[in-house]
Amino acid sequence: MNFKWFGPIALLAALVIGDQIRINRPAHKYRLSVDVETPDGRKSASGVVAVHPDRSYTRRGQTRTVGDAIFVDLGQGKNLVALLAHVDNNLVLDDVNYVALRAYTSAAGKRVSFDEMSRLTGVVPVKDTLIPVLVTFTDPAKPGTARRIAPDDAEAVLGSGYRIQGISAEVVPNGYWPVDFGGALGEPVTRGIQAKLPWLGDAGNSAAAALRAAGLPGVDGMDAREAFTRK
C-alpha cells in the first residue's frame, strides 16, 4: 500500500474539519430564564439558544439564532411562552440575536462587544424592549387560542395572582461544534417546544394562525415557525 499521499490527505481533512468547526461554532450561547409568580408560588423555565454569526463564504453577514421558544407550565392548565421574536411596529425575528449582548451592555453601563460575549459570566436582567413577545395558549393543542401577555400586566390575561417576576440572560459555555452536548463540552441548545405545541410540526399555517390570534402585527411574508423554533 502506497502511503505517500497519507500525510497530505490527513492534513487536508484536518483543515476541512477545522474550517467546519470554525464556521458552525456559535459566537456565544445564552440561557434565557423566565420566572412567573402564580397563586401556587413561583413557576420557572429556561432555555439555551446559540447565536451564530455568518462565518461562511457567502458574505451575507447575517447573524442567526438556533433554539426554541420557552414554555413555562404555570399549573392549573395555564402557560406562558416566550417567543423568539419582538415587536417594533411589526413582528421582528432578528432581535433575539442580540438579547444577551444588549442585556449585558445595559448591566455593565458600557458597550460590550459581540466578540467578548462568550467570555462573560453572571446573570443579567432582561428588561423593557429586550423582553421577547410573551403569549399564552388557552389550549396548547389549538394555535387559535393564543393570547398576547403584556410583561407588566400578566393578570389581564392569566388572571389574578399571576405576575412576571423576572426575565434574565446568562452566557453559558460554548463548547465545540459538533460535540457540544453537555458538561465540559458546552451547553447544548434546548429543544422541546414542539412537544408542548404539537401543531408546530404541521406543514400548514398553524404558526402564523397562532401569531395572528395573539394580535401580533406583520405576520404575513415571514416564516412564522421561526417565532417558535429555529434550526
Cβ atoms 71, 192 nearer than 8 A:
yes
How far is Cα 25 from Cα 104, in angstroms, rounded to an integer?
21
Q: Span 217-226, mean pLDDT?
A: 94
**Is residue 184's pLDDT more than 80?**
no
How far is Cα 18 from Cα 115, in angstroms, rounded to an integer?
19
Cβ atoms 149, 157 nearer than 8 A:
yes
∠ CA 43-201-207, rounded to 5°: 70
Residue 69 burial (10 A CB sphere; 0-12, 13-18, 19+)? buried
The grid coordinates listed for 33 are: 430564564
- Beta strand pairing status for 123-125 and 86-88? unpaired
Average pLDDT of the chain is 89
pLDDT of residue 8: 64
Q: Report whether the peptide linkage leading into residue 53 is cis, meaning its omega lies within 30 degrees of zero.
A: no
Q: Span 161-178, mean pLDDT?
A: 90
Give the pLDDT band (50/70/90) at residue 186: confident
| 20 three-class SS | helix
pTM above 0.95, yes or no: no
Q: Span 148-162, mean pLDDT?
A: 98
**Is residue 66's pLDDT more than 80?**
yes
pLDDT of residue 53: 85
Cβ atoms 100, 46 nearer than 8 A:
no
Give the pLDDT band (50/70/90) at residue 19: very low
Give the pLDDT band (50/70/90) at residue 9: low
How far is Cα 98 from Cα 94, in angstroms, rounded to an integer?
8
Beta bridge partners of 65: 51
The grid coordinates listed for 82 are: 416566550
* H or E element that contains 213: helix 206-213
pLDDT of residue 157: 98
pLDDT of residue 2: 56
Percent of the chain with pLDDT over 70: 82
Q: Span 183-205, mean pLDDT?
A: 88
pLDDT of residue 23: 59
